[in-house]
Amino acid sequence: MITTSETVSAPLLERLDEAIAVLDEALPFAKPARLQRVLDTAKRVLLTDGGCRAIEERAQALERAGLFAGSDWANPQSLVPAISRHSLTSSDANVVVIEAISEIRLLAVAQGSYPHNQISAEQAHHFLTQVLATNLTLLFTPPSEAQRVAQGRLAGLAQRVLEYLADRIGFEHIVDQLIEEIWRILQQRPIQTEAIRQMITQIAICQANPAIDLGASGQGADRLISSLFGPTQASREDPGLEIYAERLHSMDTGALQLEASGCARAMHDTGLVSSYHAVLVRHLVEQSDHLLAEALGLSSTGRDCLLCYRDLVHALIAAAVSPHTTQAIYGLALMLERGILYQQPLAPALWRQLGLKLCSEAQQRLNLSFGETVDPAMRLLEGVLCILGQPLGVGQGNNPTCQSARALSMWAYNDPDYLLQMVAWAARDNEIIMHFEGQPISSRHTAAGLAGGAPLDLDPVSTLVVPHLDRIYAEMGRLCAGREGDPHRWVNPEFHGWWSGRGFRINVDVASGQITDLSNFLRHFYASYHPYYNGNQPLIHPQPAGIAITDSAARFVGWHAITILRVALDPQQDMRVYFYNPNNDSGQDWGNGAVVSTAGHGERYGESSLPFEQFASRLYIFHYDPLEHGELASVSSEELLRVAEHMKTSWAESRWTPGISADLNRNSA
């Protein structure tokens, strides 16, 4: 613990309160001139004992006064935990102080003393847990000499703030909570695993450092650490890739079999792939397809697919698998397990991908996002294998591009050769052309989309394709300008594919924002999707839908695009809707008991689920086949009234109009 003899004094706190008041009262154009006084005073407070608590008590006042206005910190729901380390160790004192105050502000939100309208207490707690995970080294070890030279007296501030956060959250549970959080995320099998790898690496470093006492914490970390740094007997002590390769060359078939099964077990257990696994797979390509299938953890379906497309699989491994692109192995294994190579266009499309020449813009974008350690073509091929193997692992990052992420996921899930065509156009031509009602739309000749620029926090395929899709999607919306109703009615089927139902229902009046025609909306949804009312017809193609996202207090956050995948009874015999959520973490608390599940209720990897009634209460848009006739009149008014009550007490409270409940009763069976 870093301590000083100086304790925060009453006069210093008075000066801080006065500076905050002056900033609060200043007109917007005058605030920048008043801001430095607040930062300088807050810095002095933070460097004294009791300073962090004093800042926490003033967190709401500081934000209300405009401390974060016009900066990234003004949108706490969009902050990235991994960037906190850079901010806390910056040589710019203002950046360090603002980052520290922002994190203490989120602590106040997490503790419930500051109800924030942009981020819930659970989200704030989750963010701070990740911040502490990312900064375990800063938390447990004193500032380095380089940090002291660069930051001077501020060098101790980062550790002081992190210790305060850990103290308030519960220091003894940080690592345990972190491990639990890592497993929760891994259950969703995201394509992007770099942040998780960094967290596991930090835990491993702390466990290996004799100067760091984790106490009884971190006992469940061994499986995570071994999955990356020692998945097998021959790699158990993390000997290094060169030594491991030498050991493989001296092994007989039996020993290689053990190595292969050990790597496969660790990979399928966690969804993470070790660099040792990449060395092993490249070695086994030259040895035996039987051992290669064992190393990929394939069932009979995957083994048959590997043997049928042996040359293609070997070529994919040669071009995509390296110690820097290890997740390609997991993507390849799951792709083979899906059996999609038996679809006639897939093998030729992958051969095309292997020989694809990336345009300079695509290479630059991939290098900017992932660095230049790996050739951009190899990085993209890794991404292609991952998205084909994990179509529900696509995330939108911190970007308003849920529509584009949903489209990529839907194509990978339902029409993978079309996805590969999109990748080829974007990577080779830096242009995608789609059609809207017969009119061609070029991504090269359209205005900016919802994201504004090119997102850099996505998987390789999304990094290249999403900017094009984002612009095309926005242009389709512009072409619907002037039409009555919601543009999704026309855009979604044209953008996502022919299987998107042409029937369309919305329960919000676009002009007024009020709930409208709720009875017909809910009855059509039940008749189209609920097995008890649609003749027990399973959903054939995934369907786009829109939900009203709420926070843990059931307050409206915004509209969000998801994909309905299936509706079925869960192991507890409750009817649930299983859906894909492009949000990076799908396990969310939407308030009023609507807690989105990602495991434990029959979910497959990447799926989210809610009981049917709870899902219906958050739904505002869905598509259906107008020629499929369900049993509208069979849905009881009691059931619909329960759904309506969920809506009324959450996102629809301010949108409710008189007579809705009466209308539901009047139209009952």
Query: What tokens were used for 557?
Result: 């956050």
pLDDT at 201: 87
Whether 199 maps to a domain, the answer reads no
Rg of the chain, C-alpha, whole Å? 27
In 3D, which of 668, 598, 599, 594 has the Cα closest to residue 636?
668
Query: What tokens were used for 550?
Result: 């709420």
CA pseudo-torsion sign 317, 321, 322, 323: negative
Residue 475 and residue 440 in contact, taking contact as beta carbons nearer than 8 Å? no
pLDDT at 58: 95
User: For 113-148, b where at least 16 C-beta lie within 10 A, e where not — what string?
Assistant: ebebeebbbebbbbbbbbbbbbbbebbbeebeeebe
Domain residues for the domain of 314 are: 230-342
Whether 223 maps to a domain, the answer reads no
Judge residue 424's burial from the number of C-beta atoms within 10 Å of its C-beta, 0-12 exposed, 13-18 middle, 19 or more buried: middle
SS3 525: helix
In 3D, which of 483, 380, 52, 29 has the Cα closest to residue 16?
52
Please tell me whether residues 318 and 397 are part of one structural domain: no
Residue 346 and residue 340 in contact, taking contact as beta carbons nearer than 8 Å? yes
Please tell me whether residues 421 and 373 are part of one structural domain: yes
Please tell me whether residues 507 and 654 are part of one structural domain: yes
Whether 516 maps to a domain, the answer reads yes
Judge residue 206's burial from the number of C-beta atoms within 10 Å of its C-beta, 0-12 exposed, 13-18 middle, 19 or more buried: buried
Please tell me whether residues 337 and 375 are part of one structural domain: no
* Non-local CB neighbours of 5 within 8 Å, separated by 6+ positions: none
Number of compact structural domains in the chain: 4
Whether 205 maps to a domain, the answer reads no
* Tokens 């086994």 found at: 284
Q: Which residues of the chain have pLDDT under 50?
A: 1-5, 669
pLDDT at 89: 86
Whether 192 maps to a domain, the answer reads no
Please tell me whether residues 463 and 522 are part of one structural domain: no
- Bridge partners of 439? 436
Please tell me whether residues 608 and 518 are part of one structural domain: yes
Among 429, 446, 479, residue at a domain's last position: 479
In 3D, which of 51, 136, 153 has the Cα closest to residue 100?
51
Residue 292 and residue 281 in contact, taking contact as beta carbons nearer than 8 Å? yes
Q: What is the 3-state secondary structure (H, E, C) of 348-392?
A: HHHHHHHCCCCCHHHHHHHHHHHCCCCCHHHHHHHHHHHHHHCHH
Please tell me whether residues 311 and 375 are part of one structural domain: no
Region class of 453: left (phi > 0), else alpha (psi between -120 and 50), else beta: beta
Among 342, 367, 402, residue at a domain's last position: 342
The DSSP H or E segment spanning 435 is strand 433-436
Whether 38 maps to a domain, the answer reads yes
Residue 380 and residue 460 in contact, taking contact as beta carbons nearer than 8 Å? yes
Query: What tokens were used for 80?
Result: 């990235």
Residue 84 and residue 202 in contact, taking contact as beta carbons nearer than 8 Å? no
Query: What tokens were used for 263?
Result: 């790597």
Helix, strand, coil % over all residues of the chain, rounded to 5: 60, 10, 35
φ, ψ for residue 564 (rounded to 5)? -80, 120
pLDDT at 591: 85
Please tell me whether residues 512 and 410 are part of one structural domain: no
Whether 641 maps to a domain, the answer reads yes
pLDDT at 141: 63
DSSP codes, 554-590 = --EEEEEEEEEEEEEE-TTS-EEEEEE--SS----B-
Alpha helices in 530-656 (DSSP H): 612-618, 637-648
SS3 515: strand
SS3 481: coil
Please tell me whether residues 414 and 377 are part of one structural domain: yes
Whether 380 maps to a domain, the answer reads yes
Query: What tokens were used for 93?
Result: 């004192």
Residue 98 and residue 39 in contact, taking contact as beta carbons nearer than 8 Å? yes
DSSP codes, 465-479 = HHHHHHHHHHHHHHH
Residue 306 and residue 274 in contact, taking contact as beta carbons nearer than 8 Å? no
Question: What's the count of helices (H) and strands (E) in the chain, helices before strands?
Answer: 31, 8
Q: Which amino acid would we find at residue 367?
A: N
Rounded to whole angstroms, what are the CA distances from 206 to 139, 275, 462? 10, 21, 34
The DSSP H or E segment spanning 548 is strand 543-550
The DSSP H or E segment spanning 125 is helix 121-134
Please tell me whether residues 549 and 471 are part of one structural domain: no
pLDDT at 669: 45
Please tell me whether residues 589 and 645 are part of one structural domain: yes
Please tell me whether residues 317 and 381 are part of one structural domain: no
